[in-house]
Amino acid sequence: MKVTMDEKMSTCTVTLQDGDPRFSGVKNAAGESRLLYHVKRELARQGWDFVKKHMAKDGHLVDDMQQYLRERKVRKEQRCLAIWNHRWAIEGLDAELRRGGTITLPVVDIGRN
């Protein structure tokens, strides 16, 4: 799996490669959860410090099952990047990745409010 962060464009691009595990499962968003876990691991190899969390537990008004990646440290008036599926209500990231082989996710700064 190839993961590319582009801070200028505010995007994170994930490209599926040969030998990557299969990401699937609709119940409890299992496919998307596993995909985000692997993206988090790849970003950690690149020096980023992200955690995978349920968005609702962080106070966002979204579905209880929706997950995202955010930087570990959340402090007022400091950068805290978050990577999320902006098409959650339409389809899971795993289905989109299987269909096209590449997905582009929005990266937003939730630390400066």
Q: What is the pLDDT along the chain (113 residues), one digit of tens a residue?
A: 999 999 788 999 999 999 888 888 878 788 888 999 999 999 999 999 999 998 777 778 677 778 899 998 877 788 889 999 888 878 888 888 888 889 999 999 888 75
In the block, residue with structure tokens 């409010």: 113
pLDDT of residue 37: 94
* Structure tokens belonging to residue 45: 């190899």
pLDDT of residue 52: 94
d(CA 62, CA 12): 21
Strand partners, 103: 14
d(CA 76, CA 104): 28
DSSP 29-95: GHHHHHHHHHHHHHHHHTT--EEEEEGGGGT-SS-TT-EEEEES---TTS--EEEE-TTTTT--HHH
Number of domains in the chain: 1
Q: Which domain holds residue 24?
A: 2-109
Q: Indicate the pTM of the whole model.
A: 0.87
